[in-house]
Structure 1
């Protein structure tokens, strides 16, 4: 229950901090205010918005830091109390499948068995049995490249 409340407060702090940072003026906005940029027409006065927004951002940043630190310490202390197998979420009921056995080859198959030789672009030379006294057949010369 405490962790849920801390998470909700953590997200709200992060969103509020993001909004306050986006509302602040950049460093280049001061140059335009000297030429009538409308800085005096703000709700907080000419200089009040910068102080209010920067102080609010600093307070929210401190709160964000403290919440991060507190939740990290809380989770690290409670993580040692429970076994890790119960912290699997959806995968808690999953089991590892057994290795399937190799299927026996079918004797009445119409499909020929696959050869173990690797497939290459170059056909393999077939060896013919030599009879004693025969000379190996002469190979024709290879054509010259480019001709």
Structure 2
């Protein structure tokens, strides 16, 4: 309710400021050009419209900035952390790491290994069947070197 009232007041002050600024005379205009002839001295007093319009503009500008600052202060103190209310799903399990100043914070992926279900017809304890057409690998032995001497016989 307070912000609604302040918003309405804010708009009215802004419109009044625009009207008062547009009604003021320019730097080279004569004293009563905005109201026609000498009529300005009778409407706003003996000093003319310049003094009244400038004072009214000054106070409207002060009110405008005061309302702006109060609304900004009020909005920051009434703000709710959007992260606390948001359902992040799987990402809600990732802890937030403190970021260094000026660095971009990138969350690390969780180190959870997913379990893969076995196929319905698979037998996990049975050894895999070998295809008889594939020959077995030869036993690993070092190839004989051509430059090497034959091993010495011991007696």
Please report the TM-score for the alignment, with normalisation by the length of structure 2. 0.46
Please tell me whether Structure 1 or Structure 2 has the larger radius of gyration of its CA atoms: 2
